[in-house]
Amino acid sequence: MTNITAIDVKKLRQATGAGMMDCKKALEAAKGDAGQAQEILRQKSLIKADKKADRETKEGYIASYVHTNNKTATLVEILCETDFVARNENLQKMGKNVAMQVVAMNPADVTELLAQDYIRDTKITVEELVKQTSGLLGEKLMINRFVRYEIGLE
């Protein structure tokens, strides 16, 4: 049996944002392999997100991103169930990353955006990123719409 230390659990928790007990159980299931434990937690988040699919989203957060050249920007509307989650740092970080994705990849609509490989981790799609964050926060999350601005284009 692999000896799982508190430091191992803390590192996995910092890397994933998952709960302490979830991290410990994932490490035990992965026999101490942090990479495999992250995959276990990712799959668990996707399952949690699918269970919340029929919930109503009445709150939200508008994420923004302006590219460093100051010529391209975007606003992304992300819906959630409560204002508490709308103010959550993890949701806001995901929102900024999705806004960066929109600036970089210029999707035509939300469906195309969700299907794209996530630019910060090409092993997952943007849809999987949203589901992971949903599983982590315990609420349904949804990218409702976005607008992208570029100097000189209408």
The reported pLDDT for the residue numbered 53 is: 61
Number of C-beta neighbours around residue 65 at 10 A: 20
- Look-up: residue for tokens 């590219």? 67
The reported pLDDT for the residue numbered 49 is: 58
Going residue by residue through the chain, which has 154 residues, state the pLDDT in tens, using 9 for 90 and above: 568 888 888 887 777 767 778 888 888 888 888 888 877 877 776 556 555 566 677 899 999 999 999 999 999 999 999 999 999 999 999 999 999 999 999 999 999 999 999 999 998 999 999 988 888 888 889 999 999 999 987 6
Q: Helix (H, G, I), strand (E, B), or coil: what is residue 123?
A: strand
pTM (predicted TM-score) = 0.70
Domains and CATH numbers, the chain: 6-51 (1.10.8.10), 59-150 (3.30.479.20)
Please list the alpha-helical segments (H only) found in the chain.
6-16, 20-29, 34-51, 83-86, 89-105, 110-115, 126-137
